[in-house]
Amino acid sequence: MKEYQTITEVSGPLVFAEVDEPVGYDEIVEIETQQGETLRGQVLESSEGLVSIQVFEGTGGIDRNASVRFLGETMKMPVTEDLLGRVLDGSGNPIDGGPEIVPDKREDIVGAAINPYSREYPEEFIQTGVSAIDGMNTLVRGQKLPIFSSSGQPHNELAMQIARQATVPEEAAEDEATDEPGSDEDGELGEGADDEGSEFAVIFGAMGITAEEANEFMDDFERTGALERSVVFMNLADDPAVERTVTPRMALTTAEYLAFEEGYHVLVILTDMTNYCEALREIGAAREEVPGRRGYPGYMYTDLAQLYERAGRIQGREGSVTQIPILTMPGDDDTHPIPDLTGYITEGQIYVDPALNSQGFKPPINVSPSLSRLMDDGIGEGLTRGDHADVKDQLFAAYAQGKDLRDLVNIVGREALSETDNKYLDFADRFEETFVDQGFDSNRSIDETLEIGWDLLSALPKEQLNRIDEDLIAEHYREDVGEQVEATAD
């Protein structure tokens, strides 16, 4: 620990101080104001006896009469299994009125990407209870699958739905579980446990959200009981922007401890990554850095990769870290630097669609541009169901054909289309009304999702199901569904 140093300048969120010996990048500092207040900061840059410091609590009250002390270590997060059920601010301090946290250890929040040699390939299904995700763009353990939204869309409601519903299917758990930790005497897993006896936890990191949004999140967590298996980090819109750069790292450090030290399967939900990137831009401007695209720092790709690549599984470890970052695309533009760079790093994306939202669909997920690059390895016999891949392919194809015909109908009218084309038109409408529009309080199992898919496909002629194995058609196709649809149309 170094002696107190002199502050030379305060500029925006930054403080500049003289030093008489080298200090490390990211080193934590304590700033004492004349009023006796102690604030924490972090070294951003050091050169020729001068350092720039970003202050987590904001620079209010700091002047040249304040003093700085360098602690000689980087920022660390106190971690323990007892964090489950707790609510913390963006810097990791408890704000729920609960007891003081007694950590098992303190972990460096910077962390590191998982060594590719040690990575275990993600291929185990996570059930979110949302058909548009589970059925069409499946999430697997260890994946990073962002949600692309825009301002005014119900991405927060979707985040809350996933946070409270995400689990591993009980059927799979009962097939493989015996009396391992997390199971009861009958060999059936308790709530939140997975197929290997490990437990499931949710880390929720909110950055730059309003007080109203924070209250909605907390009300939902407490009402549904999801808080018991969750750790919540809250950085509000009126909190310093600098703190936003710390919040996701706090959340991921906690997730890594629970996953790789305690054996939990952890789902990390980060919202809103756009606010995080805006904080990077604000800090970069204060440091007078040369801006990159649209004023964002040139290193934003590297910075985002440092966060996203902390998801995954490690060989020889029971737990896993799965990420769902949520970002609002400025102007609903997916070529904007934030979604563009995110898409390069992550393994797919889920699109929240303004057009579907305006029609009242909940959740308004557009499955057509959505993608889960790891889906094919996380579905099938022993993971979800043997017919999952074929049903998904046929649903995608039929929905795409139905949407194409909507454009044609605007020109020639329905009367000019064939009987089969009209069935595809009806299919697209029914797909959105029954498969996608399930509501934010509906929790569907993967079996329920696939059965709804078969109901939709059974309204099409058998000969049109050219992406499904004949044996599966013989087992699941329902002749009576087509007859009911025709009778309703008549």
In whole angstroms, give the CA distance from residue 92 to residue 109: 11
The residues that bridge with 126 in the sheet, in sequence order, are 139
C-alpha 38/C-alpha 420 separation (Å) is: 72
Q: How large is the angle between the packed helices 247-260 and 273-286, nearest 10 degrees?
A: 130
Q: What is the pLDDT of residue 484?
A: 66
SS (H, E, C) the chain: CCCCEEEEEEECCEEEEECCCCCCCCEEEEEECCCCCEEEEEEEEEECCEEEEEECCCCCCCCCCCEEEEEEEECEEEECHHHCCCEEECCCCECCCCCCCCCCEEEECCCCCCCHHHEECCCCEEECCCHHHHCCCCEECCCECCEEECCCCCHHHHHHHHHHHCECCHHHHHHHCCCCCCECCCCCECCCECCCCCEEEEEEEEEEECHHHHHHHHHHHHHHCHHHHEEEEEEECCCCHHHHCCHHHHHHHHHHHHHHCCCCEEEEEEECHHHHHHHHHHHHHHCCCCECHHHCECCHHHHHHHHHCCCEEECCCCCEEEEEEEEECHHHCCCCHHHHHHHHHCCEEEEECHHHHHCCCCCCEEEEEEEECCHHHHCCCCCCCCCHHHHHHHHHHHHHHHHHHHHHHHHHCHHHCCHHHHHHHHHHHHHHHHHHCCCCCCCCCHHHHHHHHHHHHCCCCHHHCCCCCHHHHHHHCCHHHHHHHHHHHC
Report how far residue 229's alpha carbon sits from residue 84's, in angstroms, rounded to the nearest whole number: 6
Q: Mean pLDDT in the chain?
A: 87
Phi and psi dihedrals of 167, rounded to 5? Answer: -165, -175
Closest by CA position to 269, among listed 162, 135, 133: 162
In the chain, % of residues over pLDDT 70? 91
Section 260-281 average pLDDT:
94
Phi, psi of 100 (to 5 degrees): -65, 140
pLDDT for 181: 37
The token pair that represents 260 in the structure block: 């790789």
The pLDDT value recorded for residue 170 is: 55
Q: pTM of the predicted model, to two decimals?
A: 0.87
Select the more confidently predicted residue: 458 or 15. 458
Note whether 17 and 33 are within 8 A (CB).
Answer: no
Residue 45: C-alpha distances to residues 12, 90, 108 (Å):
15, 22, 19
Q: What is the pLDDT of residue 61?
A: 81
Task: State the pairing for strand pair 265-271/320-328.
Answer: parallel
Which H, E and C letters describe 399-444, residue by residue? HHHHHHHHHHHHHHCHHHCCHHHHHHHHHHHHHHHHHHCCCCCCCC
| Predicted local confidence at residue 1, as pLDDT | 55
Of 355, 376, 371, 352, the C-alpha closest to 363 is 352
- Using CB atoms within 10 Å of the CB of residue 396, give its burial: 0 to 12 exposed, 13 to 18 middle, 19+ buried: middle
Let me know: does 6 contact 66? Beta carbons within 8 Å: no
Residue 178 corresponds to which tokens in the numbers above?
A: 């015996």
Q: What is the pLDDT of residue 183?
A: 39
Is the distance from CB of 131 to CB of 435 less than 8 angstroms?
yes
Q: How far is 274 from 120, CA to CA, in rounded Å?
A: 30
Judge whether residue 75 has pLDDT over 90.
no
pLDDT, tens digit (0-9, with 9 covering 90-100), for 87-117? 999 989 999 988 988 989 988 888 777 888 8
Percent of the chain with pLDDT over 90: 58
Cβ atoms of 170 and 156 within 8 Å: the answer is: no
Phi and psi for 234 in degrees, rounded to 5?
A: -120, 110
Band of pLDDT at residue 241, cut at 50, 70 and 90: confident
Cα–Cα distances in angstroms (integers) from residue 376 to residues 139, 265, 429, in the given order: 10, 20, 26
- pLDDT the model gives residue 190: 35
**pLDDT for residue 6 is more than 80:** no
Q: Is the pLDDT of residue 211 over 80?
A: yes
